[in-house]
Amino acid sequence: MIGKSHLSMKGVLLSGGTGSRLRPITHTGPKQLVPVANKPVLEYAIEDLKEAGITEIGVILGHKGREEIQDLLGDGSEYGVEITYIVQGNPLGLAHAAGCAKDFVGDDDFVMYLGDNILKQGVVDLVESFESGDHGAGIALQEVDNPQQFGIADVDSAGNVTELIEKPDEPPTNLALIGMYVFSPAVFDAIERLEPSWRGELEITDAIQTLLEDGYAIDSHVVEGWWKDTGKPEDILEANQLVLEDKSLRKEGTIESDATVDGRIELHETATVEDGAVVRGPVSIAEKTVIKSGTYVGPYTSVGANSTLDGVHIENSVVIGDSIIEASGRIVDSLLGKGANVGSADEFLPEGRRLIVGENSQLKL
C-alpha cells in the first residue's frame, strides 16, 4: 500500500447543477437552497463539516445560483467556518469539481460533500474511519434494496473497497455509494490521468478506481442512519419528515389561548398561532408567519417565513415562504415555492379552479 501524509482536513462542498428535477422551484434559485425544516439544505452540510472539525471549506459553484449561495453563506463567519468559492462553470463531473479544488486543498485530505444531500449521522464517523488507517480515499456506503440502480462497492472483510461497479446486472453487494467521500491529495494525480466518460464527464468513481489500481487502500464506511439526495420534490418532502422527526424543536412564538397545539412544534419567536387554529407536530413555522383561525397544520409540515395560512388544512408539506394560503380545502404532500399563493375560488362564477402556473409545475386537482 502507498502511504499518505496527513496534515489537516478540508471540506469541498459541491453546489453546482441545474436542479432540473426540482423545477419550477429551481427556476429562481439553486436546489441547494431549498429549505428542509425551514433551513437550506446546504446549511446542513456546512454544519456536518464543522461538527467533524472541518472549518476550511471550498464551495464549488456551477452556472446557477452563484450569487444566492454566496449571499447566504458569505465568508462563512456566521457558521464559524472559512469559505473559499470555487467556480467550476461547466458541469464536467464530480472529479472535475474536485480537481478545481486542488489549489484550495493543497497537501491536505478533504471531505467531498454533495450540497444537495442530507444525512442523519453527519460525516464524523466517515472521517474517523478514513483516519483510522492509511487510506487514499474513503467512501460512504449505504445498503439499498435495488443495487442494480446504483454505483456499488465490493468490500473485503476489513472494510477496504476492492471494486467499484456502476449499475451492475449482478451486484456483488447491496452497498451503494451515496455521494460522501474523503480523499487524500493523491486523488488529484488520479484525476489528471482520467479521460472523460461517455457522457463527457470526469467520473469520481473512475478516480477512485484509479487510486485502487495505484495501490491505495480505499476505506468504506456504511452509513446506518437515513440519507437523502434532495434532488426531487418527493425527496424534499421525505427529508423534511426525517429532519422534523429528529430535530430538537423550540416553541418560542405566540400561541394564543384558544389555539390548539399538540406535539413537537418549532415556532419562531415572531410567528403566531392564532385563536381557533390547530397545529399538530412535528411542524416548523418560521419568522413572521401567522396561522389563522380555522387553519389546520398537520404533521411533517414546514411553513417558511412571512406567510399567512387562513382556513386551510395542510399536512406533510413544505411552504418555502412569502405565501398566502387561504383556500378552505386540504393540501397534502405538497411543495409550494417562494411567493406562491393559494386562494379560494368558492365565490367565483363560473365554478372552477383558476390557475396561473409556471413552466414545469405539477398539479394534482
Interface with another protein (CB under 8 A):
58, 61, 66-67, 70-71, 84-92, 96, 99-104, 191-192, 194-196, 200-202
Q: What share of the chain is helix, strand, coil (3-state, %, to 5)?
A: 25, 30, 45
Report CA dihedral (70, 71, 74, 78) to the nearest 10 degrees.
Answer: -140
Reported for 211-214, long-range contacts at CB under 8 A and 24+ positions apart, including other chains, are: 211/136, 211/137, 211/186, 211/187, 212/161, 212/162, 212/163, 212/164, 214/2, 214/136, 214/186, 214/190
Q: In sequence order, what E strands does 127-259 have?
A: 135-143, 151-155, 161-166, 175-183, 217-222, 227-229, 254-255
> Is 202 or 279 the residue whose CB approaches another protein more closely?
202
> Is 30 or 99 the residue whose CB approaches another protein more closely?
99
Q: What's the closest the beta carbon of residue 126 comes to another protein, in angstroms? A: 25
Q: What's the closest the beta carbon of residue 249 comes to another protein, in angstroms? A: 32
> Is 43 or 201 the residue whose CB approaches another protein more closely?
201
Instruction: Give the CA angle between residues 238, 239, 244 to the nearest 5°.
Output: 100
Tell me 57's DSSP state.
E
Q: What's the closest the beta carbon of residue 186 comes to another protein, in angstroms? A: 15
> Is 100 or 297 the residue whose CB approaches another protein more closely?
100
Report CA dihedral (276, 281, 287, 293) to the nearest 10 degrees.
Answer: -10
> Is 206 or 310 the residue whose CB approaches another protein more closely?
206
Q: What's the closest the beta carbon of residue 159 comes to another protein, in angstroms? A: 30
C-beta separation of 221 from 128 below 8 A? no
Q: What's the closest the beta carbon of residue 56 comes to another protein, in angstroms? A: 12
Q: What's the closest the beta carbon of residue 58 comes to another protein, in angstroms? A: 8
Q: What's the closest the beta carbon of residue 114 comes to another protein, in angstroms? A: 18
> Is 46 or 259 the residue whose CB approaches another protein more closely?
46
What gap in Å lies between CA 238 and CA 87, rounded to an integer?
Answer: 30
Q: What's the closest the beta carbon of residue 20 comes to another protein, in angstroms? A: 14
Q: What's the closest the beta carbon of residue 100 comes to another protein, in angstroms? A: 5
> Is 58 or 337 the residue whose CB approaches another protein more closely?
58
> Is 185 or 282 the residue whose CB approaches another protein more closely?
185
> Is 54 or 101 the residue whose CB approaches another protein more closely?
101
Do you find a cis peptide bond into 282, omega within 30 degrees of 0? yes
Give 351: exposed, middle or buried? Use CB within 10 Å, 0-12, 13-18, 19+.
exposed
Nearest to 226 by CA among 363, 76, 92, 120: 120
What is the DSSP secondary-structure string of 211-243?
HHHTT-EEEEEE--S-EEE--SHHHHHHHHHHH
